[in-house]
Structure 1
Amino acid sequence: MKGETVYTDLIQLTLSGNKEAYSKLYDKTIQEVYKTAHFLIEDKTDVDDVVQEIYIQLYESLRKYDSKKPFRPWLIGLTIKQIHSYRRKRWMRLRIIKKAEEQRKPVQIDFSSDVVSKISNQKLIELIHKLPYKLKQVIILRYLHDYSQEEVAQILHIPIGTVKSRINAALKKLRQKEQVEEIFLGEVGNVK
């Protein structure tokens, strides 16, 4: 709870006009926000812009924050909402581009993925990136950020049962994909 007091104090100072307090709040939270955005946004060139939008929204929403609730899950909830907004806008933009390009030629978009350096298992990262967005969300919040299932439900505004079923489905898909790749690699390795 001591950590929450630090956040609450920084929020109060920020609301009273102290810009240095907001800078400290940013420094304390940027790593978690950036990791979340990095994993949930396919186009890595947009991550910095989305993170900037998240902190603009945070500043504008601080008055709405209920200090009786934990700050970090509230911030990650705000982060998820901004990422949803980005994905909706991007989807609309891609639809418009696709319609325009269909008249000339098909659009090919490179969705190459970067890797977060702290995670050492490259194969697992690649498998996670291949998961559907809703499954990827719960895996990142649960296992990358170590949120409890209850906190994940609170952040995403979904029932705990949905969180559990999505985690189960994601883990099942990850296991299946890993087995398929092992079988494929084994067959390739045994070719004589």
Structure 2
Amino acid sequence: MTILDKPAARDLYDRIAQRYDGWLITFRLLGLDRWRRSLVDALDIAPRDEVVDLCCGTGENLALLAAAVGPGGRVVGIDLSEGMLDRARTKVVSARLENVELIRGDVESFEVPRTASVVLSTFGLEMVPRYDDVIRRCARDLRSGSRFGLLGVKFPERWPDLLVTALEPLVRRFGATREYREFRPWVSAATHMNQLSYAEHLAGAVYSSVAATR
């Protein structure tokens, strides 16, 4: 498998959307939900904030974000896959999240609202070929001091190659392969913004980053 173009990525996630959350069970056991909550906490979201979730997928962040901004705030989720958004819509309706808007679109061309005070992406931008353009545009357009958060997988440089090979099937079904090794959105965030925090989990297989616009 090579780096996916947009039609291939959309088709892949449309196909796996109904199984996606179930496939995360291994990652949940390893700490996924804890890392997700920690990122949201680190973004210092305030009541009435406007938050944008890039590559929102099946909407796993939405309830946390909606609770953080409160009824006076707004959460916008955008994703390329209609199948993933269908799953997200189900969660929004089930949880009665009235302050959440979902958009089908391409994050590479999406104009983040200048009124947003927080932008994040979890397990998404490291699969977007033009991730640096996305981050640079956020750095340019958002107000000074806006927060930008990332949580995702990265190539585990410290792992023995045999272990990497053995566990590749776990991430390959999500489209992640070694070809994405040089995709480093956390580096772009630190380059275009002021990095506030950076952490790695699972000996470097997962990263979390928070930055602020200048």
Q: Please, what TM-score do these two structures have when normalized by structure 1?
A: 0.28
Flag the structure with higher helix content: 1
Q: Please, what TM-score do these two structures have when normalized by structure 2?
A: 0.26
Flag the structure with higher strand content: 2
| Larger-Rg structure | 1
